[in-house]
Amino acid sequence: MRLWLVDPSKMCRKHLLGEHVECHMFVGCINKGVSLNGYINKGLVNTGLIKNRHNELVKEMKKRGMNHKSQLPSFNIPILGYVDVKGNEKELAKRCCECKFRDDKK
């Protein structure tokens, strides 16, 4: 699980939907009391950005004509963590030629 925090318009469908699901998974872990320390320590999540990121992803999903019916549950956790967005942009381009192509078109 991770928050990519890459501009959603640069993400392929698979990664856009994947990060959306992972927002829900992070909130599920938080609400179940499961520690996110591993993700926080590895720079894969900033808990203060989950809600806004979910909203950004949903906006892009709707822009592409996708349906969205899964509201993000409420959660409460201190703001912890960081995400290296520039590093994630490079990593995503290495992993996915569709995301790289979308980025190259910008």
Q: What is the pTM of this model?
A: 0.92
Mean pLDDT to the nearest integer, 36-45:
96
Q: Which ranges of 1-106 would DSSP assign to H, the alpha helix?
A: 13-32, 37-41, 50-63, 85-95, 97-105
Q: Are 46 and 83 in contact (CB under 8 A)?
A: yes
Confidence of residue 100 (pLDDT cuts 50, 70, 90): confident
The separation between CA 99 and the C-alpha centre of its own chain, rounded to angstroms, equals 14
